[in-house]
Amino acid sequence: MLAECIRGLLKGWAMNRRFKLFVVTTSSCLVALLMIGAVKGRSASPDDAYKHLAVYTEVLSRIKSDYVEEPDMKNVTLGALNGLIESVDPYASYLNADQYKQYVKFKDNRKAGVGLILSKKFGYLNVVDAIPGTPADKAGLTTGDVLEAIGGVSTRDMPLAYADLLLHGDPGTSVELTVLRVRKGTDPQKVGLVRAMTKLPAVTAKMLPDGVGQIVSATLEAGKAKEIAAAVKSLEQQGARKIVLDLRNAADGTPEEGIAVANLFLDKGLVAYLQGQKVSRQNFDADASKQIWKGPLVVITNRGTANGAEIAAGALLDNKRSEVVGERTYGDAAVRKAILMDDGGAVILSTAKYYSPSGKALQDTGVTPSVPMVEQDAAPGDPDVEPPAEPVEPAPKSGEDMLLKKAIEVLTSGKAVAVNQGGDGWDR
């Protein structure tokens, strides 16, 4: 968290045109850094934990007694709570009693929405992705955009779960968003969207030159593994000898479906495992009877690849079954639950994380491609793109899909991975 804050601060100073985002970053970092010590105290001695809480109490007292004007202590406390939660989990939420009642009702009666998948970053709502074909996608919202307000209500310290509630409503109703397009460096824009029932895009497949088949899955919701399996069989009948599995912008989906997708291409080995502080390790192993493709395979990812799609990409990469071409994935693969509080409110918190076969937690860190390459719309200094440890090949500015081109190059060069028919390991 500290490293993220420092990077955000430095970028804020360096980019005057993004000054507003710098202010957001700075204020959120101060709250998070204040509270994170108390969270870490959980694993230290009780005395250390009380010391951290004592510092918080003293700061709170100073704000109340010495601030230039009498502060609204309810808002101060709420801001501190949200800063605490965000410092440990960007997908967590604290809902007061009234908000939680609305949230439960909303979950039981799912309504129309705008197609946005969100997380919290620097105190505000950050777009993970817009589901293809939805109102948000048609309006051009994309990974990395920041929502400053929903319906005129600031998202500063707004619980993530409550924001999801506000974005949904009856079909045909409107909602206005204030969007800061960080990647474009423009001033905040008002974007009006009309809510609609989300229709998940179908898996598509097509033949490319040199016996390459491309499968595109923009989500990994329930049933997509079966669609991908059908696409594989269709391409095989058309003469495909190699496959590109395109998981770019597949942020919507479930871990279970990601595991099922990986198993279509694996005949053995660990796919992923789930573990938490109070959740015993649960392994998910490949079932040889569910594998349908043994030929060469390459997976494409970008920073909009999340959740189940990350699990699939990580499993195929760690098992040396596939190269992964593209950008580091978003980093969202966890089990979350609502923990009720004494006041009737609730904390929605990640209670267990999914790990790749090599033991890497996918939450927050994502999957790093074996063939890293940035997409065409990622500008230098993009705050959403982690500086790589090694040089990354940039995608030329053109209408051509350079990540797909690179994936085909990897497949046709012999670097792609196929299952060893002898059954004694992987063969490159």
Q: Residue 24 class from Cβ within 10 Å (0-12 exposed, 13-18 middle, 19+ buried)?
A: buried
Q: 224-263, pLDDT tens digit by residue?
A: 999 999 999 999 999 999 999 999 999 999 999 999 999 9
Are 296 and 417 contacting, i.e. CB atoms less than 8 angstroms apart? yes
Q: 95-145, pLDDT tens digit by residue?
A: 989 999 998 888 777 779 999 999 887 778 999 999 999 999 999 999 989
**Domain spans, the chain:** 2-88, 93-194, 204-419
Give 350-377 as a DSSP string: EEEEEE-TTS-B-TTT----SEEB--TT
- Name the helix (H) or strand (E) containing 406: helix 402-412
Are 148 and 183 contacting, i.e. CB atoms less than 8 angstroms apart? no
Say if residue 389's pLDDT is above 70. no
Q: What CA–CA distance (Å, rounded) separates 43 from 49? A: 9
For 81-95, 215-229, 234-248, 379-393, which range has the lowest pLDDT when averaged over its residues? Answer: 379-393
- Mean pLDDT for all residues in the chain: 83
Higher-scoring residue by pLDDT: 73, 287: 287
Which fold would CATH assign to domain 93-194? Pdz3 Domain (2.30.42)
The whole-number pLDDT of residue 392 equals: 53
% of the chain exceeding 90 in pLDDT: 59
Say if residue 156's pLDDT is above 80. yes
Could you tell me the CA-to-CA distances from 236 to 6, 121, 205, 239, 287 in Å, in that order? 50, 43, 11, 5, 21
300 Cβ partners below 8 Å, 6+ apart? 244, 245, 246, 247, 248, 324, 325, 326, 403, 404, 407
Q: What CA–CA distance (Å, rounded) separates 346 from 391? A: 44
The closest of 295, 304, 301 to 315, measured between CA atoms, is: 301
For 22-36, 279-293, 386-400, which range has the lowest pLDDT when averaged over its residues? Answer: 22-36
Are 198 and 130 contacting, i.e. CB atoms less than 8 angstroms apart? no
Local confidence band at 393 (pLDDT 50, 70, 90 cut-offs): low
Q: Residue 12 class from Cβ within 10 Å (0-12 exposed, 13-18 middle, 19+ buried)?
A: buried
Task: Quote the DSSP letter at residue 422.
Answer: T
The whole-number pLDDT of residue 381 equals: 44
Are 207 and 235 contacting, i.e. CB atoms less than 8 angstroms apart? yes
The whole-number pLDDT of residue 187 equals: 84
The whole-number pLDDT of residue 24 equals: 42
The whole-number pLDDT of residue 45 equals: 59
Residue 246, helix vs strand vs coil: strand
The whole-number pLDDT of residue 419 equals: 62
The whole-number pLDDT of residue 422 equals: 35
End-to-end CA distance of the chain: give it in Å, rounded: 38
Q: 316-342, pLDDT tens digit by residue?
A: 999 999 999 999 999 999 999 999 999
Local confidence band at 50 (pLDDT 50, 70, 90 cut-offs): low
Residues 305-331: b if buried by 16+ CB within 10 A, e if exposed:
bbbbbbbbbbbbbbbebbbbbbbbbbb
pTM for this model (two decimals): 0.80
Residue type, 96: N
Say if residue 14's pLDDT is above 50. no
For 158-172, 240-254, 271-285, which range has the lowest pLDDT when averaged over its residues? Answer: 158-172
Could you tell me which CATH number the domain at 204-419 has? 3.90.226.10
Q: What CA–CA distance (Å, rounded) separates 216 from 309? A: 12
Q: What CA–CA distance (Å, rounded) separates 321 from 339? A: 39
Q: 298-313, pLDDT tens digit by residue?
A: 999 999 999 999 999 9
Residue 292, helix vs strand vs coil: coil
